[in-house]
Amino acid sequence: MNTGIGDSFQKETKYIRGKIPVSGRLWEPPPRTDKSYPECPRISLPPPRGQNGPGLWETILRRRSIRNFSAQPISLDQLSQLLWATQGITHQGRGYFFRAAPSAGALYPVETYLVINRVASLEAGIYHYQVGLHQLAQIKMGDFSRGIAAAALNQEMAAAAAVVFCWTGIFARSKWKYGQRAYRYIYLDAGHIAQNLALAAVGLGLGSCQVAALYDDEVNHLLGVDGQKESILYLSVVGHPYP
């Protein structure tokens, strides 16, 4: 059988009893777990709800990948709830900020960007979620629906959706502790976040579809990240299902 880079990566990042390597750079201060855009305008989001939602088992039962969306915008309240459910702060204690989705070593390498197509009271454009403040930073204004659809292997649902969640990884955050094995954990973190979004969308009467088929460099360029220190991992499209 021919082997490739994926096979080599899986082999070289294994943990073997008695041979776990000393990884990372723990003698250095840990990296920040959030990214800031201080030069960008900020939009405060409505407070998220933590009670009186649908039951968990019912939500799991109803989850489906939705690829057809109506032109109806989602509300700012709905967007706020989705962001909180994916990466929002759920608890503070002992000097830590606990988030809605788990992260290896509580290093939180995943950042959330949004391509806003149709959200009530928000201009179309590209935004970044400021986790600690529960705010959005406006990065670029304009209609990027065709750009994100083209970058998602020309999947029309990215243009039709009300919003596209774009998750990037800042690799140094996890490599500080885990070295090369960090890449395994970063992709797992993105999966945890995406599943939270899928279930939260169902709970709000919305649909979502998770998208890994994308042109990495094109999405990175759209978001304004370098593709090396920080790069796209995963997308999810969200909107009102087409009736």
CA torsion sign, 72 to 200 to 198 to 184?
positive
Average pLDDT over the chain, rounded to an integer: 94
* Distance spanning both ends of the chain, measured CA to CA: 47
Residues 2-44: tens digit of each pLDDT: 679 999 999 888 888 888 776 667 667 888 888 999 999 999 9
Residue found by looking up tokens 């989850």 in the block: 63
pLDDT of residue 134: 96
Number of other CB atoms surrounding residue 11 within 10 Å: 9
CB of 83 closer than 8 Å to CB of 132: no
Cβ burial 88-97 (10 Å sphere, 16+ → b, else e) = beeeeeeeeb
Q: What is the pLDDT of residues 131-190, one digit of tens each?
A: 999 999 999 999 999 999 999 999 999 999 999 999 999 999 999 999 999 999 999 999
- In whole angstroms, give the CA distance from residue 17 to residue 15: 7
Q: Which fold would CATH assign to domain 40-239?
A: NADH Oxidase (3.40.109)
Going from N- to C-terminal start, the domains of the chain cover: 40-239
Does the pLDDT of residue 94 top 80, yes or no? no
pLDDT in tens, 193-225: 999 999 999 999 999 999 999 999 999 999 999
